[in-house]
């Protein structure tokens, strides 16, 4: 193992010296958060928390720990995402299993959960929710957890094991119906109070410009929204009207340049109203919500 050999030649023995060495390797590999990543990988190797690392700066690593840590660093040097190396990503303060077959949960998707909860606050339970393109299951699962009486349907055409395991892990599997199907072809089965989706929304040509972590390790299927990135919105917006309860909510994550077009697509359906665009914490347009009109307007 080339990286391990290099680590040994610089006589890295203590936890601190290994961390400094890893940070240096990750800076050379142009990783965005080298120290943080080194610490996360060390904490996972030693099965302790990141804060506990400072308690043992002079701890000497065993041979097995050394090899384990160096192989993780080696993977990160090749720009494999930290969450694929650890197998876990936090979202909404919950831990989710992830792998290369599902989109990595991103912090900005929490805005979508927040906005759905805010918009549904006045509805009385039980609520029926549809999550289109569930991936690791973060939307279906956090909404099921936050809205105790809810019944969620989660559609995904790629793998469902990851989402199913996450639902078990968070004790909501009994309230989520998983459907292995292409949302563009399947029957969505029922009427819903909320239809939510973080669909693939990158322009096909943008994919090659993404960071190596995304380009090389995340599933194209979860990212590619067609030539202009809008294929899924064009399909879901008119179709959702037939599957929403009166007054029901449609909520999307969007790419930050897509708000105007998505709003226009909704406006052109006439049966949507109360259309809102919400920004993420970086100030980018990130979520669009609309309600289906009730019979009396």
Interface residues with ligand GLN (CB under 6 A)? Answer: 103, 106, 198-202, 214, 223
Distances from the Cα of 30 to the Cαs of 24, 33, 106, 215, 290, in angstroms? 10, 9, 20, 15, 41
* Residue 228 Cβ vs ligand GLN, minimum distance, rounded to whole Å: 13
Is 143 in contact with 115 (CB distance < 8 Å)?
no
What 3-state DSSP class applies to 201? coil
Is 199 in contact with 216 (CB distance < 8 Å)?
no
Location of structure tokens 């809008």: 230
Phi (first) and psi of residue 15, to 5 degrees: -55, -45
Distances from the Cα of 129 to the Cαs of 101, 171, 287, in angstroms? 24, 17, 17
CA distance 251 to 186: 20
Closest to 139 in 3D by CA, of 196, 221, 201 = 196
Q: Which is nearer to ligand GLN, 43 or 214 (CB)?
A: 214
Q: Which is nearer to ligand GLN, 83 or 103 (CB)?
A: 103
User: Hey, which bits of the chain come out as E strands?
Assistant: 88-91, 94-97, 128-132, 151-156, 176-180, 192-197, 244-253, 272-279, 285-292
* Residue 125 Cβ vs ligand GLN, minimum distance, rounded to whole Å: 28
Q: Which is nearer to ligand GLN, 74 or 280 (CB)?
A: 280
Q: Which is nearer to ligand GLN, 125 or 257 (CB)?
A: 257
Residues 6+ apart with CB under 8 A from 161: none
Positive or negative torsion for Cα 73, 93, 136, 288: negative
* Residue 95 Cβ vs ligand GLN, minimum distance, rounded to whole Å: 20
Q: Which is nearer to ligand GLN, 44 or 287 (CB)?
A: 287
Q: Which residue is nearest to ligand GLN (CB)?
A: 201
* Residue 32 Cβ vs ligand GLN, minimum distance, rounded to whole Å: 14
Q: Where on the phi/psi map is residue 243: left (φ > 0), alpha (ψ -120 to 50), or beta?
A: alpha
Q: Which is nearer to ligand GLN, 69 or 233 (CB)?
A: 233
Q: Which is nearer to ligand GLN, 121 or 282 (CB)?
A: 282
Dihedral through CA 11, CA 12, CA 13, CA 17, nearest 10? 140
Q: Which is nearer to ligand GLN, 53 or 259 (CB)?
A: 259
């Amino acid at each position: 193992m080339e990286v391990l050999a290099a680590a040994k030649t610089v006589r890295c023995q203590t936890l601190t010296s290994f961390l400094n060495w890893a940070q240096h390797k990750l800076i050379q590999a142009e990783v965005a958060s080298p120290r943080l990543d080194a610490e996360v990988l060390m904490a996972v190797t030693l099965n302790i928390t990141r804060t506990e690392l400072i308690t043992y700066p002079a701890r000497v690593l065993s041979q097995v720990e050394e090899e384990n840590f160096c192989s993780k660093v080696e993977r990160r040097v090749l720009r494999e995402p930290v969450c694929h190396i650890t197998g876990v990503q936090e979202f909404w303060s919950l831990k989710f299993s992830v792998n290369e077959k599902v989109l990595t949960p991103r912090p900005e998707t929490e805005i979508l959960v927040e906005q759905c909860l805010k918009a549904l606050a006045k509805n009385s339970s039980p609520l029926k929710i549809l999550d289109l393109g569930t991936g690791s299951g973060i939307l279906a699962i956090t909404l099921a957890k936050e809205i105790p009486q809810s019944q969620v349907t989660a559609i995904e055409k790629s793998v469902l094991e990851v989402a199913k395991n996450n639902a078990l892990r968070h004790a909501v599997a009994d309230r989520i119906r998983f459907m292995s199907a292409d949302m563009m072809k399947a029957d969505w089965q029922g009427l819903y109070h909320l239809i939510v989706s973080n669909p693939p929304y990158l322009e096909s040509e943008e994919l090659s410009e993404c960071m190596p972590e995304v380009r090389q390790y995340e599933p194209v299927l979860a990212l590619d929204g067609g030539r202009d990135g809008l294929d899924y919105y064009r399909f879901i917006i008119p179709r959702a009207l037939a599957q929403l309860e009166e007054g029901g909510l449609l909520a999307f994550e969007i790419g930050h340049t897509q708000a105007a077009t998505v709003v226009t697509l909704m406006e052109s359906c006439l049966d949507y109203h109360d259309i809102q665009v919400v920004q993420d914490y970086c100030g980018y347009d990130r979520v669009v919500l609309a309600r289906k009109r009730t019979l009396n307007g």
